[in-house]
Amino acid sequence: MTIGASGTRVSNSTLAQSAIRNINRNMEQMLDLQNQLATGLRLYKISKDPAGSNMAMAFQTLLERQGQSITNLKRSNESLAATDNALGDLQDLLNQAVSVGITNVGTASDAERQNAATVVGALIEQLTQIGNRQYQGRYIFGGRSTSVAPFNLTESQVRFVGDNAQLFASAGSNSLVPYNITAAEAFGSLTGSVTSAVDLQPAVSGDTRLRELNNGEGVRLGSIEISDGTDSTIIDLSHCDTLQDVIDTINNNGTVNVMAGISITPNGLTISGDAAATLRLVDLPGGFAARDLGIYTGNALAAGVSIVGTDTNRQLTGLTRLSQLRGGAGIDTTGFVIRVGGEAAMIDLSGAETVQDLLNTINFSGIGVTASIDSQSHTLTIANTVASDGMTIGEIGGQTATQLGVRTMTTTTELSGLNSGLGVNSISGVSDFRITTRSGSTLDVDVSTCATVGDVIDRINNDPANAGKVFAQLNVSGNGIRLRDFTAGGGGFGVTSLNNSSAAKDLGILKSVPFPGNIVTGNDVSAVRETGVFALLFSLRDALNSNDSPAITRAASGLQDEIERVARMRGIVGGRMQLLENNSKRAEDESLQIKSLLSEVRDLDYADAVARFQTLQATFQASLQAAGNILPTSLMDFMRF
């Protein structure tokens, strides 16, 4: 028992417990400071400061994301630097090719041109190597296909097997920066393509998904208000997924007597009431469902008038049925033929039901083409992947290619686009060619004012001197112009050139058939060719081999244009590199700010911690000394006083 300063009696047990508590508290504080000093962190465990730890973890997560963004930006910038080097090499190669072309125009000998053709062949191989350039094991011109060499070179052709997708690097804050140059931008790959000349917009049906409407933008679902002049109700469409869901929800509203349906023309909804109903349908404040569905009226309609929705612009997707194309008219599924160079593929659609079936049939036909849904989502694109050869798409007795809008020769095809863009060369004011029938009658034709293939056909058929003797039309199979002689006689039937015009040759009809033949089947001159550097180098090589000076000149001129285009692309690359660098610097600055905030929350102030540790040490020693002085005392010690 011990007597305290106030005269009260305190047991040794109580003093011991108090001293031990003080010593333990002091030791705990010292241990905490030791851990902080050892780790350099004020928040070395969450329990020390839960709120501060939560804030620190948020900063740490943000810092890690920012670090990944910086890494992505730097790697993307390095990839663009590799791209710029490749484009520089491409420029040098094209300069060599132009020099070869210019040197061999004019008085060059056959042997010199043959040698030059060999040089161009070597340049094509070098160009393929540039196209297959890699950065850190990834092909920089392959689009999304970064693990497969995008260009396959054989002796006679180069085939592009990558894609023209744009790749983006994240710059933080939902900002994306493009960091690649596509093969189309660098080499002109897949530029020889055909896109549907008709709108394939599919008709809607009950199972049409709402997200396919409005060109893929979908419907902003919510509540609508509908009234018939007597009753009114609010209908919630937020749960709807298809047009049938919308129709059922409107029909089952239980208040307003209406009947919703789908109209065929235009492709949308119709809503009808009884003969006395004055229908009105609007969105609730802040809503857009009625507008997006095309059934918004604003004011009430006249009695008995139905709500006829506007065109909902259904998106074309792989799941779209072929029978729904062209506003529900569908397409002929006979099929069509695609030719690339000397290869041909019959596209049989007899078993196809959807657009994806159509795409798969084309893409797995084994010919050098690729088919896809165009970015506008209402058309198809069929692209030629072979740089050295042209692509044609024609019929095989039906109307499939025409209805899809991908036939390369139709009556609307412009003459200037024939013969790989060389067009049809006619002589103004005189006849370009003569058609001689089996009866011996002749028809002289001037096509100098014709703009399209259809104009040429009409010029032949409607010529006053024709009078039904000769009938011109497109070939039923393949492409080209078909001439049929309806006269009787024992002579030959054919077409000859007049006035040194090349129009008949350019139209593919400079030919004849001996008696009794009465049909001239024109050649297909509608091939679609790539316009890029590979195609031009192949053209230059072939022109050198055939000693075709005009073709050599055209190829060299085209290559000169490509040099200028590549220079512009290098400028674009430089701009993107600068943008990435600026974003990288900004991300680094933001990272430093985040680190500073994190340090304020998490890190230890060493000077303050050392001072507090020294104070705790002194307190600890004093506590031990005081305990040593107090705890051994007993009642006998106090009896001495």
Q: Which helix or strand (DSSP H or E) is residue 128 part of?
A: helix 110-131
Q: Quote the DSSP letter at residue 417.
A: G
Residues 565-590: what's their mean pLDDT?
87
Look at 49-58, 600-609, 622-631 and tell me which has the smallest mean pLDDT: 600-609
Identify the sign of the CA torsion 586, 588, 591, 596: negative
pLDDT tens sequence across 225-274 = 999 999 999 999 999 999 999 999 999 998 999 999 988 777 899 999 99
The band of 6, judged by pLDDT with boundaries at 50, 70 and 90, is very low
Residues 158-167: what's their mean pLDDT?
87
Coil, strand or helix: which one is 445? Answer: strand
Locate all alpha helices (DSSP H) within 462-547, ordered by sequence: 503-507, 533-545
* Mean confidence (pLDDT) of the chain: 86
pLDDT tens sequence across 502-541 = 999 999 999 999 999 999 999 999 999 888 899 999 999 9
Residues 603-611: what's their mean pLDDT?
63
pLDDT of residue 352: 94
pLDDT at 635 over 70: no
The band of 627, judged by pLDDT with boundaries at 50, 70 and 90, is low
Of residues 329 and 597, more confidently modeled:
329
pLDDT of residue 5: 47
Neighbours of 56 (CB within 10 A): 22
- State how far the Cα of 528 lies from the Cα of 522, in Å rounded to an integer: 17
Neighbours of 78 (CB within 10 A): 15
pLDDT of residue 607: 66
Question: What does pTM read for this prediction?
Answer: 0.78
pLDDT of residue 42: 60
174-178, 425-429, 507-511, range with greatest mean pLDDT: 507-511
pLDDT of residue 15: 64
- State how far the Cα of 247 lies from the Cα of 254, in Å rounded to an integer: 13
Residues 557-572: what's their mean pLDDT?
93
- State how far the Cα of 479 lies from the Cα of 528, in Å rounded to an integer: 13
Coil, strand or helix: which one is 354? Answer: strand
- State how far the Cα of 85 lies from the Cα of 170, in Å rounded to an integer: 23
pLDDT of residue 29: 63
pLDDT more than 70, % of the chain = 84
Look at 59-63, 324-328, 370-374, 615-619 and tell me which has the smallest mean pLDDT: 615-619
pLDDT at 494 over 80: yes
Structure tokens given for 244:
């049938």
Q: Quote the DSSP letter at residue 146.
A: T
pLDDT more than 90, % of the chain = 58
Residues 63-74: what's their mean pLDDT?
79
